[in-house]
Amino acid sequence: MAEQLKNVYTKQYLEDLALKIKNEFKEFNEKAFCKAVLDDIWQTLELKQRMRHIALCLDKFLPFSYKEQLDILKTVSKDFSGFEAMFFQDFVEVFGLDDFENSIKALEVFTLDSSSEFAIRQFILKYEDKTMAQMKLWAKSENEHLRRLSCEGCRPRLPWAVSLPRFKQNPIKILEIIEVLKNDSSKYVQKSVANNLNDISKDNPHFVIEFVKNNLGKTKSLDWICRHGSRTLLKKADKEILGLFGYFDSSFIDIINFKCDKEVKMQEDLNFSFDIISSKNIGNIRVEYAIYYKKANSKHNKKLFMIMQNEIKTKHKTFLKKQSFRDMTTRKHYKGEHFISIIINGEEKIKKEFTLS
């Protein structure tokens, strides 16, 4: 079983952090700091709770003004990177919300080796105009980490983060950032732009449809952003967005030779295959399959999976696939009646029953 992310904060990690702080503040009590972090409740805390706990202990053991604390932490942070270093940003979120200028400068430093996407949201909520003005400046930065922060930090539905209700209601200010970044050469930034568009599509699909209308077909990277940013609308089989990507009526396409295991055992794979045929070249096509998972209450939950979205220049194509029924942290399986369906260009073509035993 994979190691839990929260366990990245080993005793050695904390001792390294304490040593770096002591290099900047000679009276820092590194042993007491490590003991305070690894207290009686430490083992009960999850990843983000551990970040917060470290941030609280940093404040306790750095007896200075907030600005002086930041001066130490900004220097120390250069030796730490990745998601595990986000306790620096969490420190700003907890203790710096009343000091906009110093906090924004600190988040700018901390994001270069980690990411300030979570902490910046509290500043958007409290100082929307000032923070978004700063985000526009970051969007034009030469540093891709700052450009990415300008977009990722204002996603209305950023996972594991506080939501931004005003931006869920009206994403105009986000779209101003996206306009600056839509032609960015960095894949890191492009992914953020697409993810932000996908967030927007869940509350305001018309904005994303309009974006695709105005930008699809201009460049290869913009095409990718449009498609990836429309993935939720494509899964929902939105007719307008399907049409924009060339996925039109599939009535001329038939499914033949559909085969599927009648029964699959828990922790094993469901095997299935099928052919698609047409009287003419199949052309631009989006092929998905759906599993209707039985839930604990015996109702079914439909989950979509992509097979392909591309042009087929023949009249016939065969597909051979399998779907795992191994339990995951995000999905628990229940024995009994399940269904599988094949979807072409948003239209469910065939649906069959199978049993999970």
Mean pLDDT by 10 residues, the chain (357 residues): 77 96 96 96 95 97 97 97 95 98 98 96 98 98 98 96 96 98 98 98 98 97 97 96 93 95 96 95 95 94 95 95 91 94 96 96
Q: 240 CB contacts (<8 Å, ≥6 apart)?
A: 209
The Cα–Cα gap between 268 and 120 comes to: 43
What count of other Cβ atoms lies within 10 Å of the Cβ of residue 50? Answer: 21
Q: What is the pLDDT of residue 2?
A: 52
CA distances 271 to 41, 94, 264, Å, are 46, 51, 9
Which numeric CATH code is attached to 147-245?
1.25.40.290
CA dist 109 and 257 (Å) reads 59
Tell me what pLDDT residue 6 has: 84
Q: In a 10 Å sphere around its CB, with 0-12 CB exposed, 13-18 middle and 19+ buried, how is residue 344 labelled?
A: buried
Exposed, middle or buried, 116 (CB in 10 Å: 0-12/13-18/19+)? Answer: buried
Task: Output the furthest CA–CA distance in the chain (Å, rounded).
Answer: 81
Give 106-168 as a DSSP string: HHHHHTTTS--TTHHHHHHHHSHHHHHHHHHHHHT-S-HHHHHHHHHTT-TT-TTS---HHHH
pLDDT score recorded for residue 342? 97
Amino acid identity, position 338: H
Task: Fold for 253-356, please state it.
Answer: Immunoglobulin-like (2.60.40)
Rg (CA), the chain: 25
Give the 3-state secondary structure of residue 241. Answer: helix
Please tell me the predicted confidence (pLDDT) of residue 5: 82
Q: What's this model's pTM, rounded to 2 decimal places? A: 0.90
Tokens 């001792």 sit on residue: 15
Q: Which of 275, 354, 270, 264 is nearest to 315 (CA)?
A: 275
**CA nearest to 86, candidates 41, 62, 131, 54:** 54
Residues 230/316/250/341 CA torsion (nearest 10 deg): -70
DSSP, collapsed to helix, strand or coil, labels residue 99 as coil
Q: How is residue 180 written in tokens?
A: 């600056």
Q: What was the pLDDT predicted at 149?
A: 98
Q: In what order do the strands lie in the sheet with 263-264?
A: 263-264, 347-356, 336-344, 283-294, 300-312
